[in-house]
Amino acid sequence: MIMPLTSTRISPDWPCQVKTPGSYDWERSAAKWLRELIPARYASYPALIRHPVLLARHAQLQVQQEVRVARTALQTARAELPMLGLPESVIEHTIKLYAAEVLQLQHIARSVRAVSEALAVRGGGR
DSSP state letters, the chain: -PPPP-SPPPPTT--TTSPPTTSTTHHHHHHHHHHTTS-GGGGG-HHHHH-HHHHHHHHHHHHHHHHHHHHHHHHHHHHHGGGGT--HHHHHHHHHHHHHHHHHHHHHHHHHHHHHHHHHHTTTT-
The pLDDT assigned to 44 comes to: 85
Of residues 9 and 42, more confidently modeled:
42
Confidence check: pLDDT of 41 > 70: yes
CB 119 within 8 A of CB 37: no
pLDDT digits 0-9 by tens, 84-124 = 999 999 999 999 999 999 999 999 999 999 999 999 987 65
Q: What is the pTM of this model?
A: 0.85
pLDDT digits 0-9 by tens, 51-87 = 999 999 999 999 999 999 999 999 999 999 999 999 9
In angstroms, the CA 84 to CA 69 distance is: 19
The pLDDT assigned to 106 comes to: 97
Tell the burial category of 18 from Cβ atoms under 10 Å away from its Cβ (0-12, 13-18, 19+): buried
The pLDDT assigned to 123 comes to: 65
Confidence check: pLDDT of 126 > 80: no
